[in-house]
Amino acid sequence: MVAAVGSVRRSFAPWNDPASKPFIEFRRVTKRFADFVAVDDLSLVIYEREFFALLGPSGCGKTTLMRMVAGFEEPTEGAVLLDGQDLAGVPPYRRPTNMMFQSYALFPHMSVEQNIAFGLKQDRMPKAEIAARVEEMLNLVKLKPFARRKPHQLSGGQRQRVALARSLAKKPKVLLLDEPLGALDKKLREETQFELIDLQQKLGLTFLIVTHDQEEAMTVADRIAVMDHGRVIQVATPAEIYEQPNSRYVADFIGNINLIEGRVTATAAGATRIEAPDSGAVVEIDQAVEAKLGDQVWFAIRPEKVRISLDAPLSGSPNTLSGEVWDIGYLGDVSIYHVRLANGATITATVTNQTRVVERPITWEDKVWLTWSRDGGVVLAR
């Protein structure tokens, strides 16, 4: 089952196809509240059938952006379009979008059935059709035996599924998910993430999820927009975001990153050399950088791409640093080495514990050498 989904997802990339039409579009949208700007001249395109994530810290404007699609906020400037239609002035109860609320917002005085049927009743659907659709939804989220219960008689996970069923009942063009998994414990959260992906593929809908949890975004999304202070910093697939961040902000926000500051000392076709006299690092990478000679740049490399060894490399080779093991974090599956350089900076190297040996060859205060390959990291100009 998962393999089938995966293969569909691998070939699904409408953002690379110049012929595909935008489904949800933000055109130079700005949203100002009395004392601050929540969304700042933002333009973004989301395609049909995407599972799109808005990722960022609290206050970055991601929820405001989503609420503008739902209709609970109107942009101060700019336009929000859905399937080519400008949504300005269209109230939330007339939009073909539905939202799954962070607090679930189930109607406490109605049963599960009535909650799910609520949206359908507003559309004046005939009774028999409503009953059929409700049954379909209940089966979808596996809550059939709980149909008559009221929200307070359900557990947290069950309530979440009712909220999901209710928001899908009207088969909306877009499903908006507002931090939907925050209240669940880790195991349940992971299970639900995969259920959501499954559901989205099965129903062929467009999902827009807002989250501050980068792992969640990486797991479920086809593309992620990383936001900061009302602006989109980078929009890309999870793999691109992780391996090719476009700025220190994105690199630092997702996962862990080592940043080495330096200057461009040589550029050639497809290769760049950076020197950081402060840390003593000489970096040579197979990447053409937009920066000019002498510019200040940052070399960013993920901890798992850094090799740690007690043996020194060939003298004079680039892409190497030496230091002392300052701290070791043992997480069971990986070991994280924090290595202190001569200038006081710390580089992190993550090593998978591939054998079950408990006594490690490298321990605290050992002198070690860190090396990385020529394509192990990226250079960031900002």
Partner 1 sequence: MTAAADTATSAPRQRSHPFGWLVVAIPYAWLAVLFLVPFAIVVKISLSTAAIAQPPYTPVIDIFGGIGAITAAVRQFAIDNYVFLTEDSLYWRSYLQSLEIAVVSTFLTLLVGYPVAYGMARSSRAMRPILLMLVILPFWTSFLIRVYAWIGILKKEGLLNQLLLSIGVIHEPLTILNTNLAVYIGIVYSYLPFMVLPLYAALEKLDDTLLEAAQDLGCPPIKAFWKVTFPLSLPGVVAGCFLVFIPVTGEFVIPDLLGGTDTVMIGKTLWNEFFANRDWPLASAVAVVLLILLVVPIVVFQNQERKQQEKEG
Partner 2 sequence: MERRASWFNVTAVALGLAFLYLPIVLVVIFSFNASRLVTVWGGFSTKWYASLLQNEALLDAAWVTLRVALISATAATVLGTLAAIALVRYGNFRGRTLFSGMIYAPLVMPDVITGLSLLLLFVAVGLDRGFWTIVLAHITLSMCYVTVVVQSRLITFDRSVEEAALDLGCPPFRTFFVITLPLIAPAVVAGWMLAFTLSLDDLVIASFTTGPGATTLPMKIYSQVRLGVTPEINAICTILIGLVTVGVTGASIFTKRREVERRRAERMAAANP
Site of interaction with partner 1 (CB under 8 A) = 33-36, 38, 58-64, 67, 72-74, 91, 101-103, 178-179, 212
**Residue 137 binding partner 2, by CB under 8 A:** no
User: Which one of 15, 101, 326, 369 is in contact with partner 2 (CB under 8 A)?
Assistant: 101
User: Which one of 10, 94, 187, 292 is in contact with partner 2 (CB under 8 A)?
Assistant: 94
When the beta carbons of 39 and 154 are compared against partner 2, the nearer one is 154
User: Which one of 111, 158, 247, 322 is in contact with partner 2 (CB under 8 A)?
Assistant: 158
- Looking at the DSSP bridge assignments, the partners of residue 264 are 274
36 binds, among partner 2, partner 1, none (CB under 5 to 8 A by kind): partner 1
Residue 102: CB minimum distance to partner 1, A = 5
User: Which one of 9, 13, 92, 278 is in contact with partner 2 (CB under 8 A)?
Assistant: 92
Contact residues for 70 (Cβ-Cβ < 8 A; gap 6+): 92, 95, 97, 99, 176
Six token digits for residue 99: 């939202």
- To which residue do tokens 């602006």 refer? 231
> What's the CA gap between 48 and 14, in Å, rounded?
8
60 binds, among partner 1, partner 2, none (CB under 5 to 8 A by kind): partner 1
User: Which one of 7, 43, 155, 346 is in contact with partner 2 (CB under 8 A)?
Assistant: 155
When the beta carbons of 74 and 261 are compared against partner 1, the nearer one is 74
- What kind and span of H or E run contains 240? helix 238-243
Residue 305: Cβ within 10 Å count? 15
CB-based contact 251:261 (threshold 8 Å): no
158 binds, among partner 1, partner 2, none (CB under 5 to 8 A by kind): partner 2
Contact residues for 369 (Cβ-Cβ < 8 A; gap 6+): 308, 309, 310, 311, 312, 313, 320, 321, 322
**Residue 141 binding partner 2, by CB under 8 A:** no
> What's the CA gap between 225 and 15, in Å, rounded?
13
When the beta carbons of 60 and 251 are compared against partner 1, the nearer one is 60
**Residue 326 binding partner 2, by CB under 8 A:** no
330 binds, among partner 2, partner 1, none (CB under 5 to 8 A by kind): none
When the beta carbons of 102 and 114 are compared against partner 1, the nearer one is 102
- In the region spanning residues 60 to 79, those forming contacts with partner 2, defined by CB under 8 A, are 70-72
**Residue 152 binding partner 2, by CB under 8 A:** yes
When the beta carbons of 77 and 198 are compared against partner 1, the nearer one is 77
**Residue 107 binding partner 2, by CB under 8 A:** yes
User: Which one of 122, 256, 317, 343 is in contact with partner 2 (CB under 8 A)?
Assistant: 122
- What kind and span of H or E run contains 69? helix 62-70
150 binds, among partner 1, partner 2, none (CB under 5 to 8 A by kind): partner 2
Residue 106: CB minimum distance to partner 2, A = 8
> What's the CA gap between 75 and 263, in Å, rounded?
42
Pairing between strand 97-100 and 174-178?
Answer: parallel
> What's the CA gap between 238 and 167, in Å, rounded?
26
When the beta carbons of 86 and 191 are compared against partner 2, the nearer one is 191
Residue 171: CB minimum distance to partner 2, A = 12
Query: How much is the CA Rg of the chain, to the nearest whole Å?
Result: 25
Q: Exposed, middle or buried: residue 2 (CB in 10 Å: 0-12, 13-18, 19+)?
A: exposed
CB-based contact 339:308 (threshold 8 Å): yes
Q: Angle 7-10-12 (CA atoms, 0-180°, nearest 5)?
A: 110
**Residue 292 binding partner 2, by CB under 8 A:** no
Nearest CA to 56 among 242, 232, 301? 232
Amino acid letter, residue 119: G
**Residue 170 binding partner 2, by CB under 8 A:** yes
> What's the CA gap between 59 and 48, in Å, rounded?
27
> Which residues in this chain contact partner 2 in the complex, by CB under 8 A?
70-72, 91-94, 97-99, 101-103, 105-109, 118-119, 122-123, 149-150, 152-158, 166-167, 170
